[in-house]
Chain A
Amino acid sequence: MMADSQEHRANRRGIWITVILLALVALGLYLGPMLMKVLE
């Protein structure tokens, strides 16, 4: 965790939105090719 003065600066909601979106993209790219091939 960061010191108080940094807490104000860190855009926590922005960080979590970025992380969740990118993690979902990564998961999609991991499973996507496999699922496409299985459903073919």
Chain B
Amino acid sequence: MSEHVATHDDHDHGPEKGLMRWVRTTNHKDIGTLYLLFSLLMFLIGGAMAMVIRLELFQPGMQFVDPQFFNSMTTMHALIMVFGAVMPAFVGLANWLVPMMIGAPDMALPRMNNWSFWILPFGFAMLLSTLFMEGGAPAAGWTMYPPLVLQTQDAFPFLIFTVHILGLSSIMGAINIVATILNMRAPGMSLMKMPLFVWTWFITAYLLIAVMPVFAGAVTMLLTDQYFGTSFFDAAGGGDPVLFQHVFWFFGHPEVYIMILPAFGIVSAIVPTFARKPLFGYSSMVYATASIAFLSFIVWAHHMFTVGMPVAGELFFMYATMLIAVPTGVKVFNWVSTMWRGSMTFETPMLFALGFIILFTIGGFSGLMLAITPVDFQYHDTYFVVAHFHYVLVSGAIFSIMAAAYYWLPKWTGNMYDERLGKIHFWLSTIFVNVLFFPQHFLGLAGMPRRIPDYSLQFADWNMVSSIGGFAFGLTQLLFCYIVYKTIKGGQKATDRVWEGATGLEFEKLSSPPPYHSFTEAPQVK
């Protein structure tokens, strides 16, 4: 533009000064940063709870905490990690990246975006406040099965309203993402030209809109059962407690994919960059993601094989669950094929992406074992399940978030991170995550139940190994905090493209760091 006329609606300026910038911001980059920092804080709080759990399990017998508090720790750890750490981290990445990747100036609904974030701290403050209540924090597990959960004392309504707030935040965030992707793509950016990260988030957003309201409805029914005399889940009043499990897992299984589909998108961005080859099988990746999302709605009862159901039901849910291995296998095949004969280098994001592919696949295989109905009767509610979902969520989802942080942090801040420290962080994390979770497979197969503060002597050795891995993995993440802090403060300047093999609008069209308002003029996508 040769001439610039300012209007009241013109936002070609930098961010507001002071703390109020962060409270009032409607900028997708600011809100993305808020989400990511909030998620890191929750990761540390949830991690501290995991340390309490591993400390108590270091030796058989009761040493440090009472059983009620131990159960509170497992419950709160899960709720905080799922809803406070992993989900907000992916929403933060979506906020930062989706508009930059599709050539949009911001999210479609920037003020709702601000609200989506700012209700989260209140939700979690409410949940964490229950730790100081006389009856203690919720301790019935993150699955909140009645009638056990109805024994929660004063913390009960706090738990329910926290879930409502988190659900509202997620639904608003998901609607915003769908509205942005459908309506604000740059000219020429057809759906099948979108980066895989945008595609995976597009599908994840639909999953969120489909299942979060169902979860909110289920916990509302718990609330009315507890305080308003209804009997949705109370057998004495004509209700059915197993109905809750069906409704919960109708939400819970897609929830697992909500936490892993964006990770697939991240790995699909990183592997081609460091293999210096285009992604192998782009369209099959899109269809595989959509297939996984569809299948996630018809497998929920594999969490409930031991509850009892007709054999036909068991067979259906077993085969449907196994079917998920097909599109997931397509993805792993495509990542490996992308690397095949590529000019590969192994910077920290690539290392985390490779760690993801290998370790997530281990989690996938143990998932297949759990899908086999007759053997699930053996594994159900044992440490084998704990090992399985931690491989999927820690060395899966969290490794992908680490990969994304290292990959895009130079773009966001304009500074390169310390590669040497990054590699140390990767190797320590990879070694200790396996020391932490691999022995839990053995414990589970030997029959150690989950959610118990004490155990038989035969489980002592592997629990000690697992705890040592846990403490070391926890300490290693402090190094990650230091690396992020150091990168934000300064360091070697990143180029606009950052990585030699990087492609996409955010690397090709924007500076490092990008301007506060990017793509005020739409880029033309060829």
Contact = CB atoms under 8 A, between A and B. Distances in A.
A and B assemble together? yes
Interface of A: 1-7, 9-11, 14-15, 18-19, 22-23, 25-34, 37
A31 B105 contact: no
B109 A3 contact: no
A4 B7 contact: yes
A33 B9 CA distance: 44
A3 B184 contact: no
A28 B214 CA distance: 9
Contact of B182 (A7, A14, A32): A14
Nearest to A37: B232
Interface stretch (B257-265, B470-478, B503-511, B514-522): B514-522
Interface of A is mostly: helix
Interface of B is mostly: helix
B247 interface: yes
B106 interface: yes
A3 B10 contact: yes
Given A18-B178, A26-B212, A29-B217, A11 B11 contact: no
B214 A29 contact: yes
Given A11-B184, A26-B212, 5 more contacts: A3-B11, A22-B209, A29-B217, A30-B216, A34-B217
A6 B175 contact: no
A35 to B, nearest CB: 9
A15 B179 contact: yes
B45 interface: no
Given A4-B10, A15-B179, A19-B179, A9 B213 contact: no
Contacts, number: 89
Q: Looking at A18, A32, A34, which has the most chain B CB atoms within 10 Å of its CB?
A: A18
19 contacts: A5-B520, A6-B106, A6-B520, A9-B105, A10-B108, A11-B184, A14-B179, A14-B183, A15-B109, A18-B178, A18-B182, A19-B109, A19-B179, A22-B175, A26-B175, A30-B216, A33-B217, A34-B217, A37-B243
A4 B217 contact: no
B-side interface size class = 35 or more
B221 A26 contact: no
A33 B218 contact: yes
A13 to B, nearest CB: 9
A36 to B, nearest CB: 10
Given A19-B175, A26-B212, A34-B217, A9 B184 contact: yes
Contacts of B232: 34, 37
B521 A27 contact: no
Interface string B94-109: 0000000000111011
A18 B105 contact: no
A26 B247 contact: no
B183 A10 contact: yes
Contact of A5 (B171, B216, B521): B521
Nearest to B184: A10
Nearest to A7: B9
A37 B243 CA distance: 10
Contacts of A4: 7, 9-10
Contact of B11 (A2, A23, A34, A37): A2
Contacts of A9: 104-105, 184, 522
Contact of B213 (A11, A14, A26): A26
B495 interface: no
B217 A32 contact: yes
B106 A18 contact: no
Contacts of B108: 10, 15, 18-19
A7 B521 CA distance: 11
A22 B106 CA distance: 20
Contacts of A23: 175
Interface string B318-329: 000000000000
A5 B520 CA distance: 7
A6 B521 CA distance: 7
Contacts of A25: 209-210
B378 interface: no
A23 B320 CA distance: 30
Interface string B384-423: 0000000000000000000000000000000000000000
B110 to A, nearest CB: 8
B520 A3 contact: yes
B12 interface: yes
A24 B16 CA distance: 35
B220 interface: yes
A22 B389 CA distance: 30
B12 A3 contact: yes
Contacts of B106: 2, 6
Nearest to B26: A1
B496 to A, nearest CB: 22
A38 B209 CA distance: 23
Contacts of B104: 9
A22 B178 contact: yes
Contacts of B212: 26
Contacts of B184: 9-11, 15
